[in-house]
Amino acid sequence: MDYRDSTKVTEFRKELRAWIANYRHTHDIDFSPSDFDSVRRWNRDLAAAGYVATSFPVQYGGRGLEPIFDAIVNLELASASAPPPPPIAHYAHSIADFGSEELKQRLLPGMLNCTEPWCQGFSEPSAGSDLASLKTSGVIEGDTILVNGQKIWTSGAMWATWCLLLARTEPGEPRHRGLSMMVVDLSSPGIDRRPITLSTGSAEFAEVFFDGVEVPVSNLVGARGQGWAVAMHMLSFERGPADMGWTGRYRRALEGARARLAERVQAGEAEATQLERLVRAGINLQVLEWQVQRTLATRSLNPGVQGSIDKLLATRVEQELYRVLADLRGADLVIKPSEDFNAYLYSRAQSIYGGSQQIQRNLVAQRVLGLPRL
Amino acid sequence: MDANLSEEQVAFTEVAADLAADLAARWRRGRSPDTVDRCVPSPDDWRKLVDAGWLALRSDDDGTGIGTCVDVCLLVEQLGYHAVPAPVLGTLLLVEQLRLRGAPPEMVAPLVSGQVRMAPVLTPDLRSFALDTDAIAFDTAGATACVLAAATELRTYSMTGSATGADLTRQLASLDVAQVPTGTPLAVASEECEAAMAAFALTVVSADLLGVMRGAFDHALAHAKVREQFGVPIGSFQAIQHIAAECHVSIEATRSAVWYSAWTVDELSAHEALSAARTAKAFASSAAIEVVEACVQILGGIGITWESPAHVWQRRAHLDRMLFGDEYHQGRMLAAA
């Protein structure tokens, strides 16, 4: 056991810190997370500097480093009060681990350099937690898959170039075995996207309608009928707090609030008990960071159900943290509109997206603890 | 970064687990407070754990160098898991305190060889090692004396009224202040030393909490797999599964905290180690109470009786939680830092 930085990590941190310091001289990095143009520019610049997908093979645009470097990027960005890295590890791992060589070469560079945004077409109006009951169909004829159906809660669909779509291609097969994963070009004819505004006011969700959309069979990710396995693989990464840049986002929010509050306590404008409450939220965040470090340091290829454990912990941390941050504003929280209130509203999504908290608990109980399914 | 145990550490843990289970197996909970065994190990059991090297883990008497705090935590986790009724934790705390304060080897040697049993002395609120006689001796089973590490000297007191409090597996006692204590001058006293002692103590108590949580949880989980209601094991109900899943999350998170904190004790400055240890202790303290309470809930009726071992872990968790300060105390200390 040795948590100390290796020479390689020390060098990496130094280089990243220098890059951030230099970057903030010439760019505004204090933009709101719902300022999508700024977010996209930041993602592209961060990728161009080599700090996105650090753990991906060099030939696809990564740096071929160990998974722990993803956590280091999160922590360094946060401690410099910079925005978090883009949440794309789950897309990248799906393509890298299941896609054909041709798909990897064609799609990974644009994904990893953040010039081509992605979205995931999983949930449907009648298939949420019961994802395997989804109905969007993909009829395979020759070299083409004809897609018809509807997806919902699709984050980023309004500006995405590509969609990883889970559709039913084998209607004769039982639920899970009838699905395939495919990459859909969102500029294809027959696609209609309609934004859905979140309770925060941000229009990051969308409904996506597929009406006779033609997708090349060569866009299948994994084999026909293997879609469920690909989807579960993808979700296990979507649940990784460092893979998704969550820990960095929490740390940044916490440290900013702590510095402001400490000043107010000093000036007698706030009570010490408020600081103690924030510190308690910080204790849980620190433990999440240690948990993620241990996960990444011991992770081989697939986070599997470990992703569910870490996501359940991240859910506790995020929802407590943003509630405390909201409370710190006192009555101001409800008197004027604020980012803190929106951040609080957004924190409620953590227990819903990527598989609800209840689904994660089922997975941990049944897959890890060996409790029987009813 | 390497967050794994070495092969030696895994092997050490297995051997420690076997002996801890063996020691715990001879202790009888009885049917009520009147029939519960005292938590004083027999001379034979004491010899076994001395021979296993448990008390000597942090002593450098034999010149081979001391074991790591991670090693100590691996052992202490097993003590908590099996709720071992023997004064091992107290002895380890005292030996570490004496080592850091520069106590003479002739005072430490008989402790680690098990010939003399002595207990450490804490403040009445259990939050720190005591500096004066307004104090309480911890883990006093079978001890002939307790050691108060005052500012410039060690004072050895005899004790009165050694008895268990809420926890059935570790005893507490008062100092017999009527007697004149034996004094030994001390070389080391500094803020650095205080921080190092506190970091070690907070971390190993967190390891005990980790073991307690795991012990109670494994017991409750086994029950959920066999206890049937409505014709099926209760563990097949999501109502139970969701409680269990959150317990598992708390246990894994606590393990991450304990391991990191234990590593810092030997590898980073006392100040950094103390901050990590306070964080770990705060998390472990609240998580352990929640997990043990959840276990009682999973066990149902039997879980609130003396018949079930659940209350043994529950009681031990509450004493551990207060030792060196609960989560609220740690939060205040971290906020003030």
Encoded tokens for A318? 């995020």
Q: Are residues B81 and B180 in the same domain?
A: yes
Q: Please name the residue that has the structure tokens 């998170």.
A: B253
**Minimal Cα–Cα distance from B67 to chain A, Å?**
13
Contact B314, B259 (CB under 8 A): no
Q: Which CATH architecture has domain A118-224?
A: Beta Barrel (2.40)
**Minimal Cα–Cα distance from B332 to chain A, Å?**
6
CA dist B299 and A101 (Å) reads 53
Residue A238 a catalytic site member = yes
Q: Can you give the pLDDT of all 374 residues of chain A as single tens digits?
A: 999 989 999 999 999 999 999 999 999 999 988 888 999 999 999 999 999 989 888 888 889 999 889 889 988 998 888 998 998 989 999 999 999 999 999 999 999 999 999 999 999 999 999 999 999 999 999 999 999 999 999 999 999 999 999 999 999 999 999 999 999 999 999 999 999 999 999 888 999 999 999 999 999 999 999 999 999 999 988 888 877 788 988 999 999 999 999 899 889 988 888 999 999 999 999 999 999 989 888 876 677 888 899 999 999 999 999 999 999 988 999 999 888 899 999 999 999 998 999 999 999 999 999 999 98
So what's the pLDDT on residue A88? 92
- Give A370's contacts in chain B (Cβ within 8 Å): 225
Q: Are residues B203 and B309 in the same domain?
A: yes
A369 touches chain B (CB under 8 A): yes
For A212: left if phi > 0, alpha if psi spans -120 to 50, otherwise beta; the answer is left
CA dist B243 and B223 (Å) reads 14
Residues 6+ apart with CB under 8 A from A236: A302, A303, A304, A305, A306, A307, A308
Low-confidence ranges of chain B (pLDDT < 50): none
Are A369 and B245 an interchain contact pair (Cβ–Cβ within 8 Å)?
A: yes
**Minimal Cα–Cα distance from B324 to chain A, Å?**
17
Are A293 and B225 an interchain contact pair (Cβ–Cβ within 8 Å)?
A: no
Eight-class DSSP state of B2: B
Strands (E), chain B: 118-122, 136-138, 145-149, 153-157, 159-164, 171-175, 182-185, 228-229, 232-233
Backbone angles phi, psi at B93, to 5 degrees: -65, -45
Are B221 and A371 an interchain contact pair (Cβ–Cβ within 8 Å)?
A: yes
Say how many CB pairs under 8 Å bridge A and B: 144
Instruction: List, for residues B16-54, the tens digit of each pLDDT value.
Output: 999 999 999 999 999 999 999 999 999 999 999 999 999
Nearest-10 Cα torsion for B52, B55, B59, B64 = 0
Are A368 and B224 an interchain contact pair (Cβ–Cβ within 8 Å)?
A: no
Closest CB to B241 among A283, A284, A362: A362
CA dist A294 and A288 (Å) reads 10
Are A1 and B246 an interchain contact pair (Cβ–Cβ within 8 Å)?
A: no
Is the sign of the CA dihedral A263, A269, A273, A277 positive or negative?
negative
Q: What is the largest CA-CA distance in chain B?
A: 69
- Decide if B87 is inside a domain: yes
Contact A291, A303 (CB under 8 A): no
Are B3 and A1 an interchain contact pair (Cβ–Cβ within 8 Å)?
A: yes
Contact A276, B331 (CB under 8 A): yes
Structural domain span for residue B37: 7-185
Catalytic residue among A76, A124, A204, A238: A238
What one-character-per-residue DSSP string does A8-37 give? HHHHHHHHHHHHHHHHHHHS-----TT-HH
So what's the pLDDT on residue B129? 96
Closest CB to B5 among A1, A358, A368: A1
Q: Are residues B179 and B274 in the same domain?
A: no
Instruction: List, for residues B121-147, the tens digit of each pLDDT value.
Output: 999 999 999 999 999 999 999 999 999
Q: Are residues B231 and B178 in the same domain?
A: no
Q: Are residues B158 and B199 in the same domain?
A: no
A58 touches chain B (CB under 8 A): no
Domains of chain A, by residue range, sit at: 7-86, 118-224, 239-368
pTM here?
A: 0.94
Region A239-368: CATH code: 1.20.140.10
- Classified as helix, coil or strand, B299 is helix
So what's the pLDDT on residue A298? 80
User: Helices (DSSP H) in A214-372: which residue ranges?
Assistant: 227-238, 246-266, 272-298, 306-327, 332-335, 339-347, 357-363
Are B334 and A283 an interchain contact pair (Cβ–Cβ within 8 Å)?
A: yes
**Minimal Cα–Cα distance from B63 to chain A, Å?**
23
Q: Are residues B104 and B15 in the same domain?
A: yes
Q: Which amino acid is at A23?
A: Y
Contact B225, A370 (CB under 8 A): yes
So what's the pLDDT on residue A337? 85
ipTM computed for the complex: 0.96
- Decide if B1 is inside a domain: no
Residue B319 maps to which CATH number?
1.20.140.10
CA dist B180 and B162 (Å) reads 19
